[in-house]
Amino acid sequence: MRQCQSITVNPEIQDGAPVFSGTRVRVETFYDFIRIGVSVNEFLDEFPSITRDQALDVYDLVKQQYTLEQIASLVEGPNAATSSSSRMHATSR
């Protein structure tokens, strides 16, 4: 599995759900939008704090059919389920 710098997992943000780095927008929200047929451009219009690069990075994971749990492990590493510490990954803007 590869690392994903566009996503952050932190227990203090959105109860530890994967979010777009630098935001409080859950990756699950992006999945939901894509699932119902909303384009990436429309999603970005609704959430201007997310960069196009972040959205396209996560869209690539959607196309590869990654689950939210798999995405969390990309951020936290392979032992994410048993690790009590969180890791923060920031993207440069």
- Domain spans in the chain, listed from the N-terminal domain onward: 27-79
In this structure, what is the dihedral angle of CA atoms 66, 70, 72, 78, given to the nearest 10 degrees?
Answer: -150
Q: At 43, phi and psi to the nearest 5? A: -60, -45
In this structure, what is the dihedral angle of CA atoms 1, 73, 58, 36, given to the nearest 10 degrees?
Answer: 120
User: What integer best gives the mean pLDDT of the chain?
Assistant: 81
Distance CA 32, CA 87 (A): 25
pTM of the model: 0.75
Q: Are 17 and 87 in contact (CB under 8 A)?
A: no
- Output DSSP code: residue 50: S
Q: Which two tokens stand for residue 24?
A: 């409080």
Does 29 score more than 60 pLDDT?
yes
Q: Are 91 and 55 in contact (CB under 8 A)?
A: no
More confident of the two residues 87 and 54: 54
